[in-house]
Amino acid sequence: MSQLVWLITGCSSGFGELLVHHILSRGDLAIATGRKLDKIKHLERAGAAALELDVTHSQQEINDTVAKAIAIYGRVDVVVNNAAYVSMGGWEDIGYDQILAQFDTNVFGSIKVTRAILPHLRERRSGTMVFISSLSGWHGHSFVGAYAGSKFALEGLVESLSRETEAFGLKTLLIEPGRFRTKLLSPGNLQVMQSNIADYAEASQTHVNGLAQEDQAQPGDTQKAVKIIVDLVRKEGCAAGKEVPLRFPLGADCFSTIKEKCEETLNLLEEWKDVINSTDHDNDTTWG
């Protein structure tokens, strides 16, 4: 495959930062973006182009930044929607503004960036749109409902997008990492709303303590993950000669949890199939 130009959001740490380094090591060109330019200057020194991009800004501001990105090398081949954070809190504790902010970054940010780049990709009839989702897009863990909700929403939006754009030769890829050793759970990124309600207090505290202990102790090796992501886009390495699916889970924990949910769903459909299939109008096969 020829040299690709990548545009990545959320590059100050984690998957975004490591993706930039790995992309450059494979001989591709990277445009790293972050909310604050000084946080990604080290990536510029490593050979990437760097632009300030806050995914919560207006559509017009993001359009302008993406236009600057396209102008750097004359094109963008791959966009990676990576910017995200975790907001932790129970349903009765977390406020509307916090939920809105969670969706503003994790969902609407991806929408705005993709809307900005999509006309360019569609006109060229070529390109790949990558979205960093999560195991939480399959499984809603307790006390992180806002985060899980944002990832469930992203999954549905992106599945629809893939069907809208595949006729133009565009590839869409949903990466679903489990627990990887990034800074997602670090104090600077994780936003915690601990419960003050007696009924939830103990469970909430246990969850907060668990996340704190897991920070930088997650089982997933992020370096291995980013290599797989680049392989999937470039159809090299583990993806050579294979049809790359829309969804791609990463991590042993992700495998087991998704497998269990799929099996539970199949069992439900089988056990309740007579009831599920009993709701059509009698002797009427037309749409009502």
Q: φ, ψ for residue 6 (rounded to 5)? A: -110, 140
Report whether 3 contacts 29 (CB < 8 A).
yes
- DSSP string covering 239-287: GTTSPPPSEEEESHHHHHHHHHHHHHHHHHHHHTHHHHTT-SPTT--S-
**Can you tell me the distance from the alpha carbon of 128 to that of 180, in angstroms, rounded to the nearest whole number?**
24
- Which one from 73, 85, 96, 147 is the annotated catalytic residue? 147
Torsion sign over Cα 66, 69, 70, 76? negative
Q: Is 147 a catalytic residue?
A: yes
Distance CA 7, CA 49 (A): 9
Q: Return the closest-CA partner of residue 170 out of 181, 162, 159, 178.
A: 162
* Cβ neighbours of 50 (radius 10 Å): 23
* Residue 184 to residue 179: CA distance in whole angstroms: 10
Determine how many CB atoms are found less than 10 A away from the CB of residue 276. Answer: 11
Task: For residues 112 and 61, give the distance between their C-alpha atoms in angstroms, rounded to a whole number.
Answer: 10
Q: Give the whole-angstrom CA distance, residue 68 versus residue 232.
A: 27
Query: Annotated catalytic sites, by residue?
Result: 147
